A and B are shown apart, each in its own frame.
Chain A
Amino acid sequence: MGTPTAEKAAEEQIHGVPLVQGGLDFTGVTDTVCSVCERPGATKGWYISFAIASTGALTLFAMIIYLFWTGVGVWGVNQPVGWGFAIVNFVFWVGIGHAGTLISAILFLFRQRWRTGINRFAEAMTIFAVICAGVFPGIHVGRVWFAWWMFPLPYQQLVWPQFRSPLLWDVFAVSTYFTVSLLFWYMGMIPDLATIRDRATSTIRRLLYGLFALGWRGSNRQWHRYERAYLLLAALATPLVLSVHSVVSFDFAVAQVPGWHTTILPPYFVAGAIFSGFAMVLFLAVPARQIYGLKNLITLQHLENMNKIILATGMMVGYAYSTEFFVAWYSGNPYEQFTFMNRAFGPYWWAYWTMATCNVIIPQVFWIRAARRSIPVMLTVAFFVNVGMWFERFVIVVTSLSRDFIPSSWGFYWPTWVDILTLLGSFGLFFTLFLLFLRFLPMIAMAEVKNVMPQAHAGHHGGHRKEQV
């Protein structure tokens, strides 16, 4: 493996299996991907899914209107539990939104070329998850009509937001992350949009895709600039992967509530975010590759790799859970000690053990290779990981607040129907956006995939490669 060609070739395989299978050539890749968004009518399955998802999204909007009309009291929040489902959902969705940038940027920088099959997918998921996340901080405040005071805008009151508040850091962190992710996603899509434009048969399609393709011609110069810019954006986005969820965790870590006020939270949150993000990518990619016949592009190898990451990050999360207990005991702080005992054995024990089971125990099946490569197993695990990660945020936010320092102010939180419908509605919004993406945009980065195919390299010979391995 001494020559550059040989290295390159090795990158294009996972354990000796090529990244693109089924003997697809460039045209085959293009046809496979483009046919999905070029089909005149969507499939029946898509329509049914879209009907369900958009009903969910409309429910979310209805709940938000009801909330705005009536007040935050329509939720279950109270004193002492000032934050409930809204913040749980926010952290959950931001967490989901981590996989996209991680796959796009960090794996890109580390030259993990297997990412090309799934990165568009994951990035789209990121954008939609961050949109879902972004809904909640805005609507959870008591006076939504003044929520814009959180932005540092010069206006007649001449009052600035308070920069010491982690909520303000959140505003910056999430909005930056969203902007960079959106740019990254969009930029990566430009060559593919141009491909669809070029294949377009109707004027409308040509105009619309042409508009968003920004005049891409695929010249050498354009490719040169494009790859530079992509690299730079990847470098910009990389620290964001770590920073967003670290900042989100500051909402808790900076406060002095027992169970929140710990230094472990930033790495713990980042690991959890990657964990849940990958689970969500899996959860979306598996049906999509099945339905749209993308098995040659998103191969079992891809899925197995993601399962390995889920196993690794799941264990990090499990380690964080046990460290929290250790630190609570070791610190000698009675409030901290109580909080963790209360999490595990107090009135919300079921939430804690749901979290521990889903996040720590269930992913352990991925030690078995067959499980990593079994579609039903990985779908089940991905589902439970997402449930578990939602409960992790519930445990952190709600149980910590429900019993803090002074026992007389302890209370209980239970959600209202509005809370539950809002949560379900946020999934509706997410899937609505995602289904629209599947329908109208190239769900696989064709240009990138072609780049990792043997055909992309001069002097490729099938037999020759085999010898080299």
Chain B
Amino acid sequence: MSPVSGRGGEKEYWRTLEELAKSPEYEELLRREFPEGADLPPQHFSRRRFLQLMGASVALAGFSGCRWPKEEIVPYAHRPEGAVPGASRRFATTFEMGHRSTGLLVTSYDGRPIKAEGNPAHPVSAGTTDLYAQASVLGLYDPDRSRAPYRREGNGGAIVTWERFEEEARHIVTESAANGGAGLALLTGRSSSPSLGAMKARLLRAFPQARWYEYEPISWDSRREGTRIAFGAPYEVYADYGDARVILSLDNDLFGDDPAALRNAREIMARRDPDSREMNRLYVVESVFTTTGTVADHRLALKGSDIALFAGALMARLVAHHGVRPPDGFRSPEEGVVPERFVAAVASDLAQNRGRSVITAGANQGAAVHALVCDLNEALGNVGQTVRYIADDDPDRPSHAEAIGKLAVDMRAGKVDTLVLLGTNPVYDAPARIDFVSAMKKVRRAIHLGVYRDETAHRSNWHLPCAHYLESWGDARAADGTYCTVQPLIEPLYGGRTPAELIALLLGDETRTGYEIARRTMRESLDTGIDFEKFWRRALHEGIVPGTARPFAEPAVKRSAVAEAFGRLPKASAPFEVILHADQTVYDGRFANNSWLQEIPSHMTKLTWDNAANIGVATAKKLGVATGDLVRVTHGGGEITLPVFVTPGQAAGTAAIPLGYGRTAAGHVGSGVGVNAAAIRPADLSLILAGAKMEKVRGRKKLATTQAQYLIDNIGMQGRARRTAALVREGEFEAYRRDPAGALHGSHHPPLVNLWKELSTSGHAWGMATDLGKCTGCNACLAACQAENNIPVVGPDEVARGRGMHWIRIDRYFSGDVEDPDVTNQPLTCQQCENAPCEGVCPVGATQHSEEGLNDMVYNRCIGTRYCSNNCPYKVRRFNFFNNQKDLKEIEKMVYNPEVSPRPRGVMEKCSYCVQRIQNGKIAARNEGRPLADGEITPACAQVCPTGAITFGDLTDKASRVSKKHALHRAYYLLEELNIRPRNAFLARIRNTNPALTKEKESHGDTHG
């Protein structure tokens, strides 16, 4: 319609006097504003012309999504021809963090990455991720990221351009070319990237005098050294849990810190399905309560240094009773330190499952323990069956402890003239004993490449912004050696460069973009065939190059060397020790500025935004402290003061302190949160600090926990004890197998009669099933939910007030002995009740029942009476007490999922079963004119869950996986007796306990409500 043309018989409207007068100026203006034809539908187009134009616009729309026009990014999407604007696309990439890499498919919406999912093709992640990968997307949009190169001079400094640094780099190239790189030292973190490896080789070839150090505060070097003792050369251990019937973990958090955590979770949990086939049995001997400890069938809390004695006692027991030949010179440890009964039960179980068991040790444990574990696996015939070895790709690499120590010595000796720090932060995380700060003062030119201007950046002459992995071209290797690609989803927001690109600059290399380096490396290191382009595009599309896993090796154990190393271990442990460990959320401190991770509660303590010394109940009594009391911990000249947290199950005589806190230059989020335990860490980077001292000092600290602490008043304890068995149901595998219907207590209640008309479901009835036996408490679902649903972060004070916003709450229940309790995790979110108590009480009807059985929350209608939350028996509704979006910068809002509206102040929110994904799935099916397939729709929590504990689907489809789970004998509904008819079924946890050990444990869970 032409805007002004009045038609006959119609009333003529005008807007200005000029318009009314139809002056020539106005006509001219009008012509310019509304060119003829632009507002008309294409009436005279030929069909062919129309298709041409439409095709062109679609193609061009796709082009607008490309960031680097001269380099091609191949999408992993349904429609490689081009993207539909407004529709999200997925690209394969790899997230590398210390010793592990996770394959991802990252969802990109209009050119901005918003959500990471596991890459199904990746050998470790196989479609799932951990919480770090989920939260890493937020890190991309962190407003505290370093935005430009910075040159520090004297006490001042200034932002400079990259060109200015490139000039400096040319100086370095000239100098190094002249002296062969003498005085040039590089420090990097652990990286599996073949490109970085190739660049390292080039650099050392060009400048043979240069020194390359690799340092990682948390590493698996002790296992590497253990295999060196056992086999004479370092190997990586590849355990195949898919075939293991009995698993013994010695201080190894298989689902947490292990390099193959996601694969472990998948393989171990696949064999923990009491309904389909036999269950494996998981023994865990550990000092800190890990996620692995929570799902163990038998957990033994033991001091970190006594775990070596346990391994020795196990060997002794196998020798004495199960015909294992002892290694030459093996002396069994003294009896009485470790419970003989437990050792005997484990030994006989292992001996009965030769070739079908796995023994594994954790990064905390020393090389001798790892060596003995290699020997034990060999002796039990597991090697080649369930345990395999892969030769280390860099056998000559010094350990991280040696590297950082040697570098500090070199720096102090004035041997380092130019120090290049690639993405590491030793000023913060190196042990205080090494005193990296004072050593750095001797360096003439320190160049720091980092995502943040962190502690190390502040002490370097040059700081350069590093590209986030979602902005980078590169590559990585999975835990089994599979070649993975890293491709950017967005152009570097702040002009950051990758470590490989910086090295190229320092080499004066002609090939200097990450893209070219990654391509060159792939061409050089893989057999790409004739058509490299095709190979490259396919690799980017898949995210991995299949068939590139490293071959398994079969090294022979040098048993006498193992026995000798083991014999050198101290025969008795110190009365008290401190155990340092990577934090479950901020890891080694690199995620300190990630507010999602800071606010995700630690799986055992439910502590957010802080670290504390976790001590057992007996230790707390002995010290006379309660949760929140401050203690001073001293070891080797260093001391820290921090609050204690009384944690049942923490081994007596130990205190566990997470690393990764106490950052001083992390950014607005992470600076000043918690205490840096590197102050008491020994220079050899060991994590068990035998002989550390802990004493009570004056003062208390308020800790922000999301669940009431363990030591509450008596009434509360009694009330909880009385109902726990009904809330989290458990059973024994033997009993369950014999009689699935009778093995579990049900809840006793009168017949549940519906007062209301049965709701009719049209088409679908969405439901969920959560297997309590499979939940490890890893928190990946919380992070995924937060990323998917734009859940705000509220900060420690608000968490302490009880105003955390996570839609999922993982409830942690203890049972049994307070010093060595059993733990069950229960992820709890909206149960989408059919008789929803929240719906009836809302005065404005802001929460309604959908035809598909969802309990929908109408944010626009909500006025915030909070009555629904009061009336929700699960307390899974979350209220926006403040405007939680107010302080977000524009860049932070880029991480928002556009399909989920952020909630304003004063509005209630809760889990929607990811209704946006349900709608997308339905639309896709309808467009293709087919019924929805089971499993096609997956909420974010179910998709990310490494163990597959969460199943989602349609309950009207009796063949769906979720319906089948609802029909199991171990399925139950939480608070069923309230007749609210939740749509989420929990599957009771079935423990495959060893009868030889169960008798000593008091039976628990006989009472229920």
Binary interface encoding of chain B residues 849-883 relative to chain A, with 1 for a CB under 8 A from any of its CBs, else 0: 00000000000011111110111011111111111
Which residues of B sit under 8 angstroms from A6, Cβ to Cβ? none
CB <8 Å contact, A165 and B843: yes
Which residues of B sit under 8 angstroms from A156, Cβ to Cβ? none
A6 smallest CB distance to B (angstroms): 55
CB contact between A143 and one of B837, B862, B871 (< 8 Å): that residue: B862
A293 close to B (CB within 8 Å): no
Q: Cα distance A78–B866 when bound, in Å? A: 10
Find the B residue at minimum CB distance from A408: B811
Which residues of B sit under 8 angstroms from A469, Cβ to Cβ? none
The contact size tier of chain A is: 35 or more
Binary interface encoding of chain A residues 399-429 relative to chain B, with 1 for a CB under 8 A from any of its CBs, else 0: 0010111111111110000000000000000
Which residues of A sit under 8 angstroms from B840, Cβ to Cβ? 162, 164-165, 254
B153 smallest CB distance to A (angstroms): 44
Q: Cα distance A140–B879 when bound, in Å? A: 13
Find the A residue at minimum CB distance from B871: A255
CB <8 Å contact, A159 and B861: yes
Among A41-49, A124-132, A338-346, A454-462, the stretch in contact with B: A338-346
B109 smallest CB distance to A (angstroms): 29
Which residues of A sit under 8 angstroms from B715, Cβ to Cβ? 338, 341-342, 345-346
A76 close to B (CB within 8 Å): yes
Looking at B804, B813, B883, B905, the one whose CB has the most chain A CB atoms below 10 A away is B905
A79 close to B (CB within 8 Å): yes
B707 close to A (CB within 8 Å): yes
CB <8 Å contact, A150 and B843: yes
CB contact between A142 and one of B719, B874, B879 (< 8 Å): that residue: B879
B24 close to A (CB within 8 Å): no
CB <8 Å contact, B906 and A406: no
CB <8 Å contact, B720 and A407: yes
CB <8 Å contact, B873 and A405: yes
A166 close to B (CB within 8 Å): yes
B383 smallest CB distance to A (angstroms): 43
CB <8 Å contact, A142 and B878: no
A37 close to B (CB within 8 Å): no
Binary interface encoding of chain A residues 58-93 relative to chain B, with 1 for a CB under 8 A from any of its CBs, else 0: 000000000000111100111111110000000000
Decide yes or no: A143 and B906 within 8 Å by CB, A165-B867, A255-B871, A256-B978 being known contacts.
yes
Binary interface encoding of chain B residues 626-653 relative to chain A, with 1 for a CB under 8 A from any of its CBs, else 0: 0000000000000000000000000000
Which residues of B sit under 8 angstroms from A166, Cβ to Cβ? 841
Binary interface encoding of chain B residues 690-709 relative to chain A, with 1 for a CB under 8 A from any of its CBs, else 0: 00000000000000000110
Looking at A82, A168, A334, A345, the one whose CB has the most chain B CB atoms below 10 A away is A82
B379 close to A (CB within 8 Å): no
B845 close to A (CB within 8 Å): yes
CB <8 Å contact, A72 and B841: no
Looking at A78, A161, A401, the one whose CB has the most chain B CB atoms below 10 A away is A78
B712 smallest CB distance to A (angstroms): 8
Binary interface encoding of chain B residues 793-831 relative to chain A, with 1 for a CB under 8 A from any of its CBs, else 0: 000001001111000010111000000000000101000
Which residues of A sit under 8 angstroms from B876, Cβ to Cβ? 409
Which residues of B sit under 8 angstroms from A165, Cβ to Cβ? 840-843, 845, 867
CB <8 Å contact, A346 and B716: yes
Q: Chain A: interface secondary structure?
A: loop
Q: Cα distance A83–B801 when bound, in Å? A: 14
B727 close to A (CB within 8 Å): yes
Binary interface encoding of chain B residues 899-913 relative to chain A, with 1 for a CB under 8 A from any of its CBs, else 0: 000001111100000
CB <8 Å contact, A142 and B882: no
CB <8 Å contact, A255 and B867: yes
Decide yes or no: A71 and B875 within 8 Å by CB, A411-B708, A411-B802 being known contacts.
no
Decide yes or no: A257 and B845 within 8 Å by CB, A83-B866, A347-B713, A407-B723 being known contacts.
no
CB <8 Å contact, B907 and A142: yes
Which residues of A sit under 8 angstroms from B865, Cβ to Cβ? 140-142, 167
Decide yes or no: A401 and B870 within 8 Å by CB, A143-B907, A342-B715, A406-B875 being known contacts.
yes
Q: Cα distance A410–B715 when bound, in Å? A: 13
Which residues of A sit under 8 angstroms from B713, Cβ to Cβ? 346-347
Which residues of B sit under 8 angstroms from A404, Cβ to Cβ? 873, 875
CB <8 Å contact, B802 and A78: yes
Decide yes or no: A256 and B871 within 8 Å by CB, A73-B798, A79-B878, A409-B809 being known contacts.
yes
Decide yes or no: A161 and B871 within 8 Å by CB, A256-B837, A409-B809 being known contacts.
no
Q: Cα distance A346–B837 when bound, in Å? A: 26
B353 close to A (CB within 8 Å): no
CB contact between B975 and one of A81, A147, A160, A405 (< 8 Å): that residue: A405
A266 smallest CB distance to B (angstroms): 17
Decide yes or no: A407 and B708 within 8 Å by CB, A71-B881, A167-B841 being known contacts.
yes
A413 smallest CB distance to B (angstroms): 8
Find the B residue at minimum CB distance from A334: B1009
Which residues of B sit under 8 angstroms from A72, Cβ to Cβ? 864, 866, 879, 881, 906
A146 close to B (CB within 8 Å): yes
CB <8 Å contact, A406 and B828: yes
B844 close to A (CB within 8 Å): yes
Q: Cα distance A82–B727 when bound, in Å? A: 23
CB <8 Å contact, A146 and B1009: no
Q: Cα distance A345–B712 when bound, in Å? A: 13
Q: Cα distance A6–B386 when bound, in Å? A: 107
Looking at B720, B845, B861, B874, the one whose CB has the most chain A CB atoms below 10 A away is B845
A335 close to B (CB within 8 Å): yes
Which residues of B sit under 8 angstroms from A140, Cβ to Cβ? 865
A43 smallest CB distance to B (angstroms): 44
CB <8 Å contact, B862 and A409: no
CB <8 Å contact, A71 and B867: no
Find the A residue at minimum CB distance from B801: A78
Which residues of B sit under 8 angstroms from A78, Cβ to Cβ? 801-803, 881
B482 close to A (CB within 8 Å): no
Find the A residue at minimum CB distance from B721: A407
B713 smallest CB distance to A (angstroms): 6
B444 close to A (CB within 8 Å): no
Find the A residue at minimum CB distance from B811: A408
Decide yes or no: A79 and B875 within 8 Å by CB, A142-B906, A167-B843, A408-B811 being known contacts.
yes
Which residues of A sit under 8 angstroms from B727, Cβ to Cβ? 406-407
B174 close to A (CB within 8 Å): no
Which residues of B sit under 8 angstroms from A82, Cβ to Cβ? 866-867, 869-870, 879
Binary interface encoding of chain A residues 183-221 relative to chain B, with 1 for a CB under 8 A from any of its CBs, else 0: 000000000000000000000000000000000000000
Q: Cα distance A162–B844 when bound, in Å? A: 5
A149 close to B (CB within 8 Å): yes
Which residues of A sit under 8 angstroms from B331, Cβ to Cβ? none
CB <8 Å contact, A338 and B883: no
Decide yes or no: A71 and B809 within 8 Å by CB, A82-B867, A164-B840, A255-B867 being known contacts.
no
Within 8 A of A (CB), among B261-285: none
CB <8 Å contact, A79 and B719: no
CB <8 Å contact, A255 and B861: no
A409 smallest CB distance to B (angstroms): 4
CB contact between A71 and one of B801, B844, B883 (< 8 Å): that residue: B883
A171 close to B (CB within 8 Å): yes
Q: Cα distance A159–B869 when bound, in Å? A: 22
Q: Cα distance A72–B862 when bound, in Å? A: 14
A80-B875, A171-B843, A407-B727 known; 7 other A-B pairs, CB under 8 Å? Answer: A76-B801, A80-B870, A141-B863, A147-B863, A403-B719, A407-B723, A413-B802
Q: List 27 A-B contacts (CB under 8 A).
A: A82-B866, A141-B863, A141-B864, A141-B906, A142-B862, A142-B864, A143-B905, A149-B844, A149-B861, A150-B843, A161-B844, A165-B841, A165-B843, A255-B837, A255-B867, A255-B870, A256-B978, A257-B871, A334-B723, A346-B713, A405-B875, A406-B875, A407-B723, A409-B809, A409-B874, A410-B716, A411-B802
Residues of B within 8 A of A (CB): 707-708, 713-716, 719-720, 722-724, 727, 798, 801-804, 809, 811-813, 826, 828, 837, 840-845, 861-867, 869-871, 873-883, 904-908, 974-975, 978, 1009
Those 9 A-B pairs whose CB atoms lie nearest each other, nearest first: A142-B864, A142-B906, A73-B881, A82-B866, A78-B802, A409-B875, A408-B811, A162-B845, A143-B906
